[in-house]
A and B are shown apart, each in its own frame.
Chain A
Amino acid sequence: MTTHNDTTQYTSAEMMTITAARALTNNMTCFVGIGLPSEAANVARLTHAPDVTLIYESGTLQTKPEVLPLSIGDGELCESALTTVSVPEMFRYWLQGGHIDVGFLGTAQIDRFANLNTTVIAANHPEGGKNGAHSYANPRVRLPGGGGAPEISTNAKEVFITVKHSKRTFVKDVDFITTIGFGRDGKGRDNLPNIGRGPSVVITDLCILKPDPATKELIVTSLHPGTTKEDVIEATGWEIKFADSLETTPVPSEKELHVLRELKARTEKAHSAQEAI
């Protein structure tokens, strides 16, 4: 996808962030991942959802960063938080204890059942099998790992995912399930006690996807303006389906674009003045 759309004056990346931001509402408590989710969550907070509660896994509760954090432990998160708790308390009381409405995650790879892989890319490795269990020890690409995601995905009441759309990222079956969406067969959450309902929306730079209520397979429910079905088909590694009532995502408002650009400019300025190694 191009990075800039001259006719409407916003980029596909901006479209993605703002669409992701709109998924959050004012009364939600959101456990935020670093990167795209953090950008979207803070745009939400600075536009339509000023009272959204943002929580980062470093222990910062109800944080209101002026600039985007570069890492999960950024001082900005702590200094603008209501309070900061220990990491065990964060995962035990606040996440596992059932206080999180939405887990907002990014990923390296996602499949048709919204399973996430941030562990190893292995499928094309000559000595690797299709299943992560066989190729884990000898990966083609070693990714950072799960971090907080495996438990965010199951202990939050629901999960939002935002990730750029490409054939490398949107695969039929992830090489390794780091974090469950709906499992290898779409039934991975069935009949389990005390588990959240899982991914409810995936926002990309091309479209919005939601799990089919029956099969849990991700289907496209809304195309971003200027995106065609063919664009999405081309960027998806399985035979992607489209909802009967396919919508067009509303374009970003002037205010949303302004807030996002100001946030990014503030962030860049804050993080640029640094000393050399």
Chain B
Amino acid sequence: MTKFMTLKDAVATYVKDGDSIALEGFTHLIPFAAGHEIIRQKRRNLSLIRMTPDLIYDQLVGAGCVRKLTFSWGGNPGVGSLHRVRDAIENDYPCALETVEHSHAAMANAYEAGAAGLPLAVFRGYVGSELPLVNKEIASIICPFTGEQLAAIPAIKPDVGIIHAQKADRAGNVLIEGIIGVQKEVVLSAKRSIVTVEEIVDNLEVTPNACVLPAWTIDAIAVAPEGAKPSYTLGYYDRDNNYYKQWDNISRDRDSFNQWLESHVFGQGDV
């Protein structure tokens, strides 16, 4: 059953050095506040998983929290490169970064397999792509009924799944609206889960088919208003595009990144 906690306590309790962690949100509901708390608590040797690493993983990688990154599209959306990730890959700064590269279809299938309790995902993918040459996790399997060769990759089952959502009710049930990405799959596939929400409400006022995670699927809920900024939360705030553009300059240079880290992460109060 879920507990309401401060984000500081939730990260302290559930995120350990060396964990595999998926902070998801498909360019929407990106859990920035939770990522910054992980940086503040100086977690190390994390194995991070995320379809679109986005700025939040650029920040975690630049802060030295990460040793391994699993991803399927690693850019600054609409802007360009993730410079801290590139510096880690190309120059081992601030530490070496191992990468595991997939396609979106592969990762979406692998999250779903994780949520379904399966050891692997099977899908029609990677045909003719050279990604299997550079990612040893990509295998193939023969359909026992048709003989068709299909792609197979391991299910994603992170130690910790972290998402942001619009709201929780007082019992801890969580409503996710809009682009729901792989939010449900991450929580259900993870051993432990943290959900940050914009607010707690008396009644979620859901329609019958709404995307709701019951309280008993979540370990910790932390209230984090604007917890997905500079990405966006449908119904609450838009994406801050200037932040994404300015990140290109801030992250390009190690010194300006480290200054940003001091003033915007370590210099900020805990949520």
Contacts and interface: CB of A to CB of B under 8 A. Distances in A.
A, B: real partners: yes
Interface of A: 34, 57-60, 70-75, 77-79, 84-88, 90-92, 95-96, 115, 119, 132-133, 136-137, 139, 142-151, 154-155, 176-180, 183, 188-189, 192-195, 271, 274-277
Contacts of B28: 58, 73, 75, 78
A177 B180 contact: no
Interface string B8-43: 000000000000000000111000000000000000
Contact of A194 (B124, B134, B183): B124
Interface in B123-181: 123-131, 133-134, 148, 178-181
Interface in B93-136: 101-105, 108-109, 111-112, 123-131, 133-134
A75 B234 contact: yes
B86 A142 contact: yes
Contact of B77 (A71, A84, A90, A148): A71
* Shortest 7 CB-CB contacts between residues of A and residues of B: A73-B27, A180-B128, A144-B75, A71-B77, A147-B73, A151-B105, A274-B242
B180 A72 contact: no
Contact of A71 (B27, B181, B234, B243): B27
B233 to A, nearest CB: 9
Contacts of A192: 127
A78 B176 CA distance: 13
B241 A88 contact: no
A142 B89 contact: yes
B82 to A, nearest CB: 8
Size category, B interface: 35 or more
B246 A277 contact: yes
Given A78-B179, A142-B81, A195-B127, 4 more contacts: A90-B108, A146-B131, A154-B124, A277-B247
Interface in B74-91: 74-75, 77-78, 81, 86, 89-90
Which of B78, B109, B127, B211 gathers the greatest number of chain A CB atoms within 10 Å?
Answer: B127
B132 to A, nearest CB: 10
A277 B250 contact: yes
Contacts of A155: 124
Given A88-B108, A133-B134, A271-B241, A73 B250 contact: no
Nearest to A174: B130
A177 B128 CA distance: 8
Given A178-B129, A180-B127, A183-B128, A144 B239 contact: no
Contacts of B266: none
